Amino acid sequence: MTISFDFNDDHKLIRESVREWARKEAYEKIIEMDKKQKHDRQLLDQMGELGFLGVSIPEEYGGGGFDYISTGIVSEELEYVDTSLRVAISVHNGLNSMGILQWGNEEQKQKYLKPQAEGKKIATYGLTEPNAGSDVVGLETKAKEDGDYYIINGSKMWISLADVADHFITFAKTDSDKGHRGITAFLLEREFKGLSSGSIKDKLGVRAGNTGFLNYDDVVVPKENILGELGEGFKIAMSCLDNGRFTVAAGALGLAKAARDASVKYANERKSFGKKIGEHQLVQQHIAKMELGIETAEMLILKSGWMKNEGIRNTKETALAKWHATNVAWDAADAAVQIHGGNGFSAEFPVERMLRNSRGARIYEGTDEIQQIMQGQYALGYRVDKPLRMKMPSYKN
């Protein structure tokens, strides 16, 4: 087996184009959006026009046809500027579009996946509920069969792009007596009667992004909108999280690099006790720890991306990358605030926003605690991944 850490020409071109847009076109808007806690749909539309929203979707379904490493690069470069930009990739690409690509039938791919990959429709993912987060089997949303339809009632909470999305993958219990085998995934549209949403304000971080709730009040869903098969919702939810967690990990790497770069810049400009603060050993120690975290996180992310490209199930590896990278980002942002001293406590410097944004990733798409339990179970042999009925497309050359 040949291992290479070189990015190919496509990777380099994607990184350059995302970096150019995010740092030059989106950055100033993001600062104002964060202050006002206001989301701008136009940024999503621009991301769609530039191909970011379908980067790893095959060309036949309106995407760019690039590999999973490319999705990681997009996520990293977007979160280097702000987490809210990367969140759009996570829920639209990772949790929804990749889920339809893996589990959807041809009709569903044409109807939902293609316009999403082309950026004409925005998509999200509804799993978390007011009383069910890590405990997926505890979800209370129910879908009752009614002829050729299912009637869905319930609610979802902490849904990114809740007020923005056109399409939704949502999960509901179709048989409460079957545990995780009684959960089914459905494809919903904004126009479906009985579906409503609202925004959550005053979040600690990701204030430039739209986060909210979904309510289902007798939402009528055709049976042809079942994703996968009846009762496969838990498997589908977990496989979607494999893709979403990859984007979260890659995004966290971008935030950690941004915190490092801001700290290096400040440490070479600020002086104390007659010299640059970067010449003080404890400041060097902070930056050295950032560098260690960045390098190790990147290796885990690249391994996970390589496995995805090969079509190898990577639940363990992706979860480990997500757990490590999000903690690296949090530690880097915290150290960056410390290096900036009093200025780090001010919104005039970007590290304050980085610290606020970095905290949420240790909760969503699998808490630190869930990731630790998973890794412990893998190591002890209590958890073994079985091949899924529907494998993700590989990108082997």
Q: Are 100 and 110 in contact (CB under 8 A)?
A: no
Q: What is the spatial distance between Cα 371 and Cα 317, in angstroms, rounded to a whole number?
A: 11
Residues catalogued as catalytic: 365
Amino acid code (one letter) for 296: T
Q: Are 293 and 332 in contact (CB under 8 A)?
A: yes
Q: What is the spatial distance between Cα 302 and Cα 293, in angstroms, rounded to a whole number?
A: 14
Quick one: DSSP state of residue 182? G
- Three-class SS state of 223: helix
- Three-class SS state of 168: strand
Q: Environment class of residue 367 by beta-carbon count within 10 Å: exposed (0-12), middle (13-18) or buried (19+)?
A: middle
Q: Where are the alpha helices (DSSP H) in the chain?
A: 9-21, 27-36, 41-49, 68-81, 83-88, 98-103, 106-108, 114-117, 233-269, 281-310, 315-340, 350-360, 368-380
- Three-class SS state of 196: strand
Choose among 27, 22, 36, 351: nearest CA to 199. 36
Q: Which two tokens stand for residue 152?
A: 């869905």
Distances in whole angstroms, Cα of residue 281 to Cα of each of 286, 288, 339: 9, 10, 12
Q: Which two tokens stand for residue 250?
A: 């890659």
Sign of CA dihedral 295, 297, 300, 304: negative
Name, in order, each residue with C-beta under 8 angstroms of 315's C-beta and a sequence gap of 6 or more: 238, 242, 385
- Three-class SS state of 213: strand
